[in-house]
Amino acid sequence: MTRSSSRDERGSASVEAAVGVPAFVLFVGLIIFGGRTATTYQSVETAAAYAARAASIERTAGSAKANAISAATTSLSNQGVHCLDVDVTVDASQFSRTVGETATVSVTVHCRLDLSDLSVPGVPGSRLIEATMTSPIDTWRERG
């Protein structure tokens, strides 16, 4: 190799780093975004399941709604999920069915996940994650 050919490659590592490092940082940011979204979705699903079960063991629609909201927010808190806002919707309309008739209660949990700390282009500052779960109300349980 002649001395002139070694001069031609001078600075190529800097150029490679200038292109490669931002691409690597973007890739890592997208992995963090995907992981945070997936784990939050799993936590919201778990909270909805707990809330539906908590509502299904109540005797009245009013107490079912209150118990479901409490169970969902407690579940998210216990799992360390920090939502910008949480909305719990409970469909307890089937509590009015007569004893002996099949009935269910459904709970939908909405969590707005904060992603503003990720400075990745194309990633929104927050993302709405929701899950719905249904639980049967005991067919022979007294309802009010």
1 CB-near residues (< 8 Å, 6+ apart): none
Q: Which residue has the higher pLDDT, 122 or 79?
A: 79
CA distance 1 to 7: 11
For residue 130, the 8-state DSSP code is: E
pLDDT tens for each residue of 126-137: 899 999 999 999
Q: Are 78 and 117 in contact (CB under 8 A)?
A: no
* Terminal CA-CA length for the chain: 91
Predicted structure pTM score: 0.81
- Phi-psi sector, 123: left (phi>0), alpha (psi -120 to 50), beta: beta
C-alpha distance from residue 77 to each of 48, 106, 118 (Å): 13, 21, 22
pLDDT tens for each residue of 85-119: 999 999 999 998 888 889 999 999 999 998 888 76
pLDDT tens for each residue of 14-25: 888 888 888 888
